[in-house]
Structure 1
Amino acid sequence: MSEVRTGFVTQTHTGEVSWKEAIEQGSNLGFDFAELYMDGATERTKLDPGAVRSLADAEGIDLLVHLPFVDIEIGSPRAGIREASREEQKACIETAEVMGAEKAVLHASSHATPPEWTVEDVEPHLLSAIRELDSFGDEHGVEICVENLPGILFTVRDFDRIFSETNAAMTFDTGHARVDGMDAEDIAAFLDDHRNRISHIHVNDARGPTDEHVPTGSGTLDFDIALEPVRDGWSGTVSVEVYSFDFDYLELSKRKLDGYLGEDKAQSA
């Protein structure tokens, strides 16, 4: 049996769900961890990391974080902007450490795009940022997991560069992979081929090759096929990523995910 822990990406950034409610509901539903989104209403300066850690400990649930990305430019060709963005990510990693988070999901992306900027202008800065933040994360006990992005650097098709030029782990997002042309068999092959570098997975279901985040099992991806390598001895963490404020859909997504993983975990909801 694989050593897989399951959790969910919180939807706290809008303020519709508080971090307290997310942690409490995640525990009630029997998740192993909550992946706290550190942006918007729960960006780092709006969090009390000690209080977050205390509640997670009291609820018996682990923590991961999703680092901010909407206004962050760690790969900007402009030195001042990228350096400030990297410092902000480091501050988030330090906050994650205080909260007791074990992993941090990173978007290695930039809004510097053609025609003003080429891939060649941006990619070296992104790779440098990954190396810098990965090293910083190691120093603070937080594993940096770089996520494949849909249609922009770094897509799943570009990850050979990250694997060869950095030591960072990967967050594999199923919906993003579909946007870039992967079907269930392709996803399974990628997970199997790179099982030693993939530490975290986002189960992002959709009704087509889009970044949709519908409740797990309500889309069209065959997760029985896609997640076969996960059932075959892989050890890591898997988050359902569902865009809903209704925890009933999260409960259903967990039951579906447990089935795809061959797990028989008890529900405590």
Structure 2
Amino acid sequence: MTDDDRRRADGNRTADGGTDLADLDLEVGFTLGLGMEFEPTVRWAASEGFDFVELLLDGPYARERIADRAESMRSALTDAGVGIVVHLPFVVDPGSPFAPVRAGAVEELTAGMDLAADLGAETVVFHPSSDAWDLGWAETETRGFVHEALDELVPAAIEHGLDPCLENIVSSYYVAARFPELLERYPDASMTFDTSHALLSGMDEAAQAAFCREHAGRIGHLHLVDTRGGDDEHLPVGMGRIDFETALGGLADAGWSGTATLEVGTEDRDTIALGKRHVRTLVGDR
């Protein structure tokens, strides 16, 4: 940490030694559940003061199923004053060891970027991972397959006017602690920092804060996900064990601003809204 970083961090300490998150300017959204109807949910998001929704292109919202709805969906977002972040399908394996499968994955994810741009998204989230059988393929090989896909996908996102925000996940070489390697390899890519994935891969809250402080300039998007530990439970903030005041302190020290999704595993509106209130309590109402 530089002297400037230390001074900035000291300036964000509260009287009791905690972290003041008031300088953390978050646009808050939530994952639009697969069973949630798009237009009514977007209107509800606006009424609750959410800034955007995050749409996973899978299930009823798979690209081929909604391609002909892109114009009406974009109009619904515009009318409500709500933005959108698009999460590409994570079951599509860009790191497949089988070249035709990998090529098909790249083709599908690139088509998803087309749709994301049509919907008005500025950020697209996807996983830099491989589902290759670990008994049959060495880690160095699977990492190479991932790189082959990203060599095409990162430029494709840029060409679509999208920020490619690669996400740290648990079952991948590129857990949060190894992400600097990926960011160095792909200078045009950004990171989606997932708090639950980071914790479950061995990065506690203090380590998360240090990581985010150091790499704030490369973090383009957040997944604020809580967990009680042991599993990626996709709980709203405040309903698990993660100390978000500590975890987000590094971003506050860096004066970070950007989009943060409550990537929740519920479609209950009251629970989603409660998660947002917990976030706003942390950073102060804006």
Structure 2 length-normalised TM: 0.87
Shift of 1:19: 2.1
**1:127/1:165 contact within 8 Å kept:** no
**1:44/1:95 contact within 8 Å kept:** yes
Whether 2:229 is the aligned partner of 1:224: answer: no
Shift of 1:33: 0.9
**Could you say which residue in structure 1 is the equivalent of 2:81?**
60
| Aligned-partner Cα distance in 1 for 2:222–2:148 | 23
Per-residue displacement from partner, 1:53-103 (whole Å, max 9, x unpaired)? 100000000111110011x12111211110111010010000000100110
Whether 2:268 is the aligned partner of 1:246: answer: yes
Choose from 192, 207, 227 the match for 1:186: 207
Whether 2:194 is the aligned partner of 1:169: answer: no
**Could you say which residue in structure 2 is the equivalent of 1:128?**
148
Shift of 1:242: 1.3
| Aligned-partner Cα distance in 2 for 1:110–1:151 | 9
Shift of 1:2: 4.0
What is the letter of the counterpart of residue 229 of structure 2? Answer: G
Whether 2:158 is the aligned partner of 1:152: answer: no
| Aligned-partner Cα distance in 1 for 2:213–2:151 | 24
Matches within 5 A, 1:1-269: 1-12=23-34, 16-47=35-66, 48-70=69-91, 72-167=92-187, 168-232=189-253, 233-260=255-282, 262-265=283-286
| Aligned-partner Cα distance in 2 for 1:190–1:253 | 24
| Aligned-partner Cα distance in 1 for 2:62–2:73 | 13
Q: How many residues align?
A: 260
| Aligned-partner Cα distance in 2 for 1:154–1:51 | 37
| Aligned-partner Cα distance in 1 for 2:207–2:223 | 16
Per-residue displacement from partner, 1:91-136 (whole Å, max 9, x unpaired)? 0000000100110111112211210112121111212322321111
User: What secondary structure is seen at the aligned counterpart in 2 of 1:207?
Assistant: coil
Shift of 1:51: 1.1
**1:34/1:63 contact within 8 Å kept:** yes
Give 1 or 2: higher helix fraction.
Answer: 2
| Aligned-partner Cα distance in 2 for 1:150–1:76 | 17
Unaligned stretches of 5+ residues in structure 1: none
**Alignment RMSD:** 1.3
**1:64/1:103 contact within 8 Å kept:** yes
Per-residue displacement from partner, 1:229-250 (whole Å, max 9, x unpaired)? 3333102211111111110001
| Aligned-partner Cα distance in 1 for 2:41–2:58 | 15
| Aligned-partner Cα distance in 2 for 1:20–1:133 | 30
Shift of 1:21: 3.1
**1:102/1:143 contact within 8 Å kept:** yes
Shift of 1:209: 4.1
**2:29/2:54 contact within 8 Å kept:** yes
What is the letter of the counterpart of residue 225 of structure 1? Answer: T
